[in-house]
Structures are given as structure tokens and as C-alpha cells.
Amino acid sequence: MDQIIITKTVRKFSDLIERNKDNRAYSDFKEGINEGLEIAKDTFEENVDKFIFPASGEGPAAKIQSLQERFNLMIDAIAVKEKPNYSRDHLDGIHEGFKKSKELFRECVIEYYNL
């Protein structure tokens, strides 16, 4: 991704995460989803340099697939440790938030590669 696309993708991804947080009444699962989305957003922002690669002959579909695979690997590598104040529902929600973040990331890169 070139620098302009990276900057726009980080901003777009961050905005999508914020818009997709669950604002319903409190539940451990909902709070877990929101925390998972936040962790994914922060992880992407901290590791955005791993998404920079030189221009290649790949078409947009191949670039999107490559970026999605990198993001998925990065998110799948996050180890969420049980904490005394985390219920099973909260942990399940975090993993659901990770899953949702993968879908939102795909939306971002598809938009910038115009597919």
C-alpha cells in the first residue's frame, strides 16, 4: 500500500470501528465485542508499516487478498488472556469483535482499490 492509501485506510478503518461499536445496554458480551474491535484497531495502527509493500504487477484483487491475509494473521496472533474480571461472555465477545474487524478491514481495502 502506498502512504496515501495507508493513511486513508487507517482513518477509514478507525471510523468504521467506532461506528460499528455496539451501543446497546450493558452486557459482558457487548463490552467484549467493543474491546475486540478496539484491540484490532490499535493493533492495525501499531503495525501499519507491515502493510507497505513495493508496487508490483499484482492486480487489485490479488492486493486485496494479500492485505486481508496479513490482517487476518495479525489478528489471529493476538492472545487474549483471561483476567479475573473477564467472564466467558466477555472473552467470547472479544473474539467476535476480532471477527467483525476482519470484515470491516476488507471493506476498507476494497473501497480504496475500487472493487
pTM score = 0.86
Q: Quick check: is 57 in a domain?
A: no
The total domain count for the chain is 1
Residue 72 contacts residue 102 (beta carbons within 8 Å): yes
pLDDT digits (tens, 9 = 90+) for 25-65: 888 999 999 999 999 999 999 998 887 665 566 787 888 88
Q: Quick check: is 59 in a domain?
A: no
Q: Where in the sequence is the domain holding 45, given as residue range(s)?
A: 3-52+66-112
Residue 28 contacts residue 87 (beta carbons within 8 Å): yes
Q: Quick check: is 87 in a domain?
A: yes
Q: What's the DSSP call for residue 115?
A: -
Q: Quick check: is 58 in a domain?
A: no
Within 13 Å, how many C-alpha atoms sit on residue 109's CB side? Answer: 23
Reported confidence tier of residue 92, pLDDT bands at 50, 70, 90? very high
Q: Which of 36, 104, 31 is nearest to 76 (CA)?
A: 36
Inter-CA distances, 111 with 26, 64, 71, Å: 33, 10, 16
